[in-house]
Amino acid sequence: MNLEIKNLNMRYGEEMALNELELSIKGDKAVAVIGPSGGGKSTLLRIIAGIENPTSGFVSVNGAPIDYEEKKLREYRKRIGMVFQAYNLFPHWTALKNITVPLIKVYGMHKDEADNAAITMLKHFGLMEHAGKLPAQLSGGQQQRISIARAMVRKPEILILDEPTSALDPQLTKEVLDMILALKEEGTNILMATHEMAFAKRASDRLVFIESGKVGGEGGPIEFFNLGMSKRLDEFLSHVFE
Ligand code: ADP
């Protein structure tokens, strides 16, 4: 994926969630965004996903600047798959229906076509046995895997994941991370905020450290974890690996 972000600001009242953030990603497939809670990771991902308008700044995705005008955004969002921390699925719809309804309502597919696309995706990820279940009948890990299947069904240019495992216990975390790793190996462009450092190191081509609304260090998986890139990143890593 290619990302070009310049002078990006996001203000919530008095709070500057992003502060003149600059980031350039050129051709990396899997990018992990890490950093302390409240640093701005989620805000940055929502702005890149086109679900939040920045206060000011420039964001370009794969060579095309995002126009934060509502009608243009609606089109832009179709290029992106987004998965949140938890509670992604509508509770009164089956797993299958959770995938097909957006295809029918947002993308204008016929029901048969939507069913076929959803079933292909569920089979691909080994989730077909859950197709007829309601979210309450699924574990948190299974729900999150259905959410990822839903995000992937339209083959997005970028799959954006905002701390997809932070609501899960370690066993369920593993099944979700394994699915993300499989997607990476299939060549999916992945942009993921995570607290899972070992996973980020293993699965990312590039890591970006976000703190106080700015990029406080970035690099490939080896250079990123070598201390000395920035004092704040060293401090953050020393806490994480304590
Ligand atoms: P992170 O994902 O790194 O934990 P966030 O992007 O969620 O960080 O938050 C960055 C800052 O912006 C925090 O101080 C947070 O309280 C604030 N913030 C985020 N979203 C909102 C919002 N919708 N309304 C008000 N403040 C927000």
Residue 226 has a pLDDT of: 84
Mean pLDDT score of the chain: 94
Residue 242 has a pLDDT of: 61
Residue 240 has a pLDDT of: 76
Counting atoms of ligand 1 from 1, which one is nearest the CA of 210?
3
Cβ of residue 38 lying under 6 Å from some atom of ligand 1: yes
Q: Which two tokens stand for residue 27?
A: 């051709």
Cβ of residue 88 lying under 6 Å from some atom of ligand 1: no
CA of 123 to the centre of ligand 1 (A): 36
Please state the rounded mean pLDDT for residues 30-46: 97
Structural domains present in the chain: 2-89+158-241 (3.40.50.300)
Cβ of residue 15 lying under 6 Å from some atom of ligand 1: yes
Residue 241 has a pLDDT of: 66
Q: Please state the pTM of the whole predicted model.
A: 0.95
Higher pLDDT, 235 or 65: 65
Say whether pLDDT at 140 is over 80.
yes
Cβ of residue 21 lying under 6 Å from some atom of ligand 1: no
Rounded to whole angstroms, the Cα distance separating 154 from 232 reads 39
pLDDT digits (tens, 9 = 90+) for 66-101: 999 999 999 999 999 999 988 689 999 999 999 999
Rounded to whole angstroms, the Cα distance separating 209 from 36 reads 9
76: helix, coil or strand?
helix
Residue with CA closest to ligand 1 atom 24: 12
Residue 229 has a pLDDT of: 76
CA of 84 to the centre of ligand 1 (A): 14
